[in-house]
Amino acid sequence: MSRVRVILLNAALGPLDYRLPHGAAAEPGSIVLAPLGPRQMTGVVWEPDRVQTEEVGDNRLRPLLQVYDLPPLSEPLRRLIDWTSNYYLAPLASVLRMSLASSSALDGARTVTEYRPTGHVPDRLTPQRKQALDRIDGRQGLVRELALAADVSDGVIRGLVKSGAIEAVEVSVDDPFPRPNPDHHRPELEDAQRQAAREFVLAVQNAEFAPFLLDGVTGSGKTEVYFEAVAEALRMGSQTLVLLPEIALTEPFLKRFAARFGCEPVAWHSGLRQSQRRRAWRAIATGDAKVVVGARSSLFLPYRQLGLIVVDEAHETSFKQEDGVQYHARDVAVMRAKLEQVPVILASATPAIETRHMAEIGVYKEVKLPDRFGVAEMPDIEAIDLIHDPPPRGRWLAPTLVRELQENLERREQSLLFLNRRGYAPLTLCRHCGHRFQCPNCTAWMVEHRLVSRLACHHCGQMMPPPHACPECKEEDSLVPVGPGVERIADEVKALFPDARTAIVTSDTIWSPAKAAEFVARMEAGAIDIVVGTQLVTKGYHFPNLTLVGVVDADLGLSGGDLRAAERSFQQISQVSGRAGRGDKPGRVFVQTHEPGAPVISALVSGDAEGFYDAETEARREAAMPPFGRLAGIIVSSENLGEATETARLIARTAPTVENMAVFGPAPAPLAMLRGRHRQRLLVHAARSLPVQDIIRDWLGKLDWPRGVRVAVDVDPYSFL
C-alpha cells in the first residue's frame, strides 16, 4: 500500500494524504489529480517529512484519480516553493499555483478549439453583436477570451458562432518552438564589453551558483553583453530565463532577441491566450523552450534544465508583487539560481541599494560597463528652477524647456516629456463649494481621464462619467481640474506646437505588447515628435533620434516620503535621462524642480551617483533600515472599521518582546480605505540576524480574529501605503 502526501491547489487546505492506485507510481514533484469530497483537484506530491498533516489511517485513504504524464517538478523547484512559502509567509498552495500556471497544460490533448470571425455579418446585428465583432477585430481565442476582449457575455459570442459570423478552428497547441541560434548575428564587442561577457560565459560553463551585478550606464550595451551568456547557455543545451519588469518591454525585447539569435524567445506574461500559455508551459517543462522571457511569474515555472537567469532592469520596484504572494522577483531569482546551481545576472544602470550592498560585501560579483557604446555620450542634465523660471499661470512647462522643445522640433529630433501621472488631472474640484471628487471605495481622488471622458480611481478601478454639475452644491459647469497629468501636458504641448506630432504613453494607451510594438514602430519611423509619458517610457527603449528629455515634476516622487523615495526618484530620473542621446547625436535633459539644491537633484546634475548612493546607504545603515535591518508590514483590513481596528490592536497588544525587534502601530494606513476595506498597518523592525518570519508566524498563529478580517504580512515591504 503506498501512501503519498499531496499539496492541493487550494490555499485553504493543508497537505492531504492519498493512496496510489494499483500499478501507479508517483515520486515527489509528480502532478496528480486527487478526489476532494465530490470534486477533483490538481495537486503535487510532496516529501512527507517536509509538510505536516493530520494522521489518517491507511484504510481511510482515498486513491488518487490520476498521475499526469508530465515531468515531476524538480527538487530545486520544490525547495524554491518551500523557501518562498516560508520566507514570505504564504501558503504552499499559493506558490505552487504559480508553477502550475496553466491548467490546460496538464491534459494530453494536442489541439484546442478556438474561435475567430469569418467576416460574415449576421442577419440579426444587435448592438451587443456589433460591439463584439468590432472589438474582436480579427482576434482568435476561446469563447471566454473573445467575450472578455469584446466586453460581452459568453452567450453573445456563442450566438455569433451559431449565426456563422464566428467559426471554430482546431489549433494544434504543442508545435515546437524554433531554436535560437547562438551564432546567428554576433556583435563585435568593445573591450569592456568583451571582458564582462567573458566573465558571464565562464560562469555559464561552470554551471555553479554565481550571482553577478552587471552595473553599466544606460546605453552601455548591457543587453548585448548578457546575450553572450545566453548564447553560451544555448550552446550547452540549457535553458535561460530573462525576467523583465513590465510586459510593455517584452515586444521590443523579442525583436531585439530575434535580431541577435534568429528567432524570438518564448514569452510568458499575463497577456497570453490559454493555448499559448499551454504551449509555452509544456515546452518549458520538457526543456524544449530554450530561452524564456517573462514577467515575474515566469520565475516559478518548471524549467527542465535551467542554465542561467537574467534579471534586466533589476532595480525596478515592479518586481515586487503586491498582492497574493507578496514576493520580490529579484530576490527569488537569486534564490532559484542558488538552488539550481546556476549563474544569475542582475543588470541595471541604477542598481538598488540592497543590490549594491551585496556587491560591496563581496556576495555578488560586480561587473561594470562605465561608458556608452560607440560614440554615444551620457546626456547633460540641467535643473530648471521653477521659482526663478516659472511656467505661465495654468501651464506646466517652463520657458527654458519650451525653448528647447522648439529647437529640437526645428532640428527634427525627438523629445520626451516625463510625468509620472496618468490621466488629465489628479484632482477635480468644484470651484463654487470646494467639493472634491473622492472614490467611494478608497482613500483616493478620482482622476480625470479626458481621452475616455471618465473619472477613475487608480486603486480600485471605479469609474464615472464626469458630471456637469457638482453633486454637492448642484452648481453647473463648476468643476475644475487641479494639477497636471500626462494628458494635460500633451494638451499644453499641442497648444504650444500645433504642428508637432505627439503621443501619450501610459498604461492607458499601451496596454498590450501589440500596442507597445506599434508605438516603437511609429517612433522609429519618425512619426512622433514629442512623447509625453509616465514611468512606462523610462526604461528599455532605444530611440537614437531622441535627444531631449524634460522631467516635468522632479519633486513628485519625493513627496511620498518612504524609505526609498529619494533612491527611487534618482533611479527614475536617471533612467528617463538615459533615453536621451543614445545614438550619435548628443542628448540633453532638463529637470524641473522647486528644490534645485535637494541631494537627488544635485547628484543628477553633477553626475555624482556614487556620492548620492553613499549618503543614502549611510543613512540606511544609521537607521538600521534595509539592507542593514529587516522590515515586515502587517496589514489588517476589513469592511468593518471596528473589527479592523480591534484586530490591529490585538496584534499590537500580543506582540512578543524580542531583543532587537520593535513593533510600531497600529495606525490607519495612508490608504486608509481600499476597495471598500478599512486598513490598519503595523510595522515590524528587526535586526538582520533575527528570524522575523518565525517570530511573526508564532505570534499571529496564536491569534483569532473575526471572519471578515484579513491579515496580510508583507516581508521586505516596498509599499508603505
Residue number, 374 or 461, with CB nearest to Zn ion: 461
Residue 144 has a CB neighbour count (10 Å cut-off) of: 11
Cα separation, 543 vs 526, whole angstroms? 10
Using alpha carbons, list the distances in angstroms from residue 605 to 102, 420, 547, 558, 704.
Answer: 48, 20, 17, 17, 54
Residues that bind ligand ADP (CB under 6 A): 187-190, 193, 216, 218-224, 373, 542
> What is the DSSP code (8-state) at residue 436?
B
Smallest distance from ligand ADP to CB 264, Å: 17
Residue 116 backbone zone (phi > 0: left; psi -120 to 50: alpha; other: beta): beta
Residue 704 has a CB neighbour count (10 Å cut-off) of: 8
Residue number, 96 or 442, with CB nearest to Zn ion: 442
Give burial (CB, 10 Å; 0-12/13-18/19+) of 32.
Answer: buried
- Please say whether the beta carbons of 361 and 688 come within 8 A: no
Smallest distance from Zn ion to CB 442, Å: 3
Cα separation, 150 vs 131, whole angstroms? 7
263 among the known binding-site residues?
A: no
Q: What, of Zn ion, ligand ADP, none, does residue 460 touch, CB below 5 to 8 Å by kind?
A: Zn ion
Smallest distance from ligand ADP to CB 351, Å: 13
306 is written with which cell numbers?
535551467
Residue 146 backbone zone (phi > 0: left; psi -120 to 50: alpha; other: beta): alpha
- Please say whether the beta carbons of 432 and 469 come within 8 A: no
Q: What, of Zn ion, ligand ADP, none, does residue 224 touch, CB below 5 to 8 Å by kind?
A: ligand ADP
Smallest distance from ligand ADP to CB 190, Å: 6
613 is written with which cell numbers?
548612493
How do beta strands 66-67 and 31-36 pair?
A: antiparallel
Q: What, of ligand ADP, Zn ion, none, does residue 462 touch, CB below 5 to 8 Å by kind?
A: Zn ion
- Please say whether the beta carbons of 473 and 435 come within 8 A: yes
Smallest distance from Zn ion to CB 397, Å: 30
Cα separation, 647 vs 229, whole angstroms? 51
- Please say whether the beta carbons of 501 and 527 come within 8 A: yes
Smallest distance from ligand ADP to CB 347, Å: 7
Smallest distance from ligand ADP to CB 376, Å: 7
Residue number, 223 or 462, with CB nearest to Zn ion: 462
What's the CA dihedral at 297, 298, 301, 307 to 10 degrees?
-140
Cα separation, 93 vs 85, whole angstroms? 9
Smallest distance from Zn ion to CB 487, Å: 20
Angle at 384 between CA 379 and CA 386, to 5 degrees: 160
Smallest distance from ligand ADP to CB 348, Å: 9
> What is the DSSP code (8-state) at residue 103?
G
Using alpha carbons, list the distances in angstroms from residue 485 to 194, 387, 618.
Answer: 43, 21, 35
Alpha carbon 223 to its chain centroid, in Å, reads 19
Residue number, 441 or 502, with CB nearest to Zn ion: 441
Q: Which amino acid is at 101?
A: A
Smallest distance from ligand ADP to CB 223, Å: 3
Strand order of the β-sheet with 629-638 is 661-674, 677-687, 629-638, 710-715
Q: What, of Zn ion, ligand ADP, none, does residue 179 touch, CB below 5 to 8 Å by kind?
A: none
Q: What, of Zn ion, ligand ADP, none, does residue 459 touch, CB below 5 to 8 Å by kind?
A: Zn ion
How do beta strands 502-505 and 306-312 pair?
A: unpaired
Q: What, of Zn ion, ligand ADP, none, does residue 542 touch, CB below 5 to 8 Å by kind?
A: ligand ADP
Smallest distance from ligand ADP to CB 551, Å: 19
Cα separation, 325 vs 347, whole angstroms? 24
Smallest distance from Zn ion to CB 672, Å: 12
What's the CA dihedral at 590, 591, 593, 599 to 10 degrees?
-130
Smallest distance from Zn ion to CB 444, Å: 6
Cis before residue 666, ω within 30 degrees of 0? yes
123 is written with which cell numbers?
442577419
Q: What, of ligand ADP, Zn ion, none, does residue 220 touch, CB below 5 to 8 Å by kind?
A: ligand ADP
Residues that bind Zn ion (CB under 5 A): 439, 441-442, 457, 459-460, 462
Cα separation, 505 vs 418, whole angstroms? 10
Using alpha carbons, list the distances in angstroms from residue 669 to 130, 278, 361.
Answer: 45, 40, 35
Which residue is nearest to ligand ADP, using beta carbons?
221
Q: What, of ligand ADP, Zn ion, none, does residue 556 touch, CB below 5 to 8 Å by kind?
A: none
Q: What, of ligand ADP, Zn ion, none, does residue 464 touch, CB below 5 to 8 Å by kind?
A: none
Q: What, of ligand ADP, Zn ion, none, does residue 205 touch, CB below 5 to 8 Å by kind?
A: none
629 is written with which cell numbers?
535591518
597 is written with which cell numbers?
539644491
Angle at 402 between CA 401 and CA 408, to 5 degrees: 90
Q: What, of Zn ion, ligand ADP, none, does residue 650 touch, CB below 5 to 8 Å by kind?
A: none
Residue number, 413 or 487, with CB nearest to ligand ADP: 413
> What is the DSSP code (8-state) at residue 139?
-
Q: Which amino acid is at 3?
A: R
Smallest distance from ligand ADP to CB 541, Å: 9
Residue number, 161 or 460, with CB nearest to Zn ion: 460
Cα separation, 442 vs 690, whole angstroms? 35
Residue number, 26 or 378, with CB nearest to ligand ADP: 378
Using alpha carbons, list the distances in angstroms from residue 334 to 299, 304, 675.
Answer: 10, 18, 34
* Residue ranges of the binding site for Zn(2+): 430, 433, 439, 442, 457, 460, 470, 473
* Residue ranges of the binding site: 430, 433, 439, 442, 457, 460, 470, 473
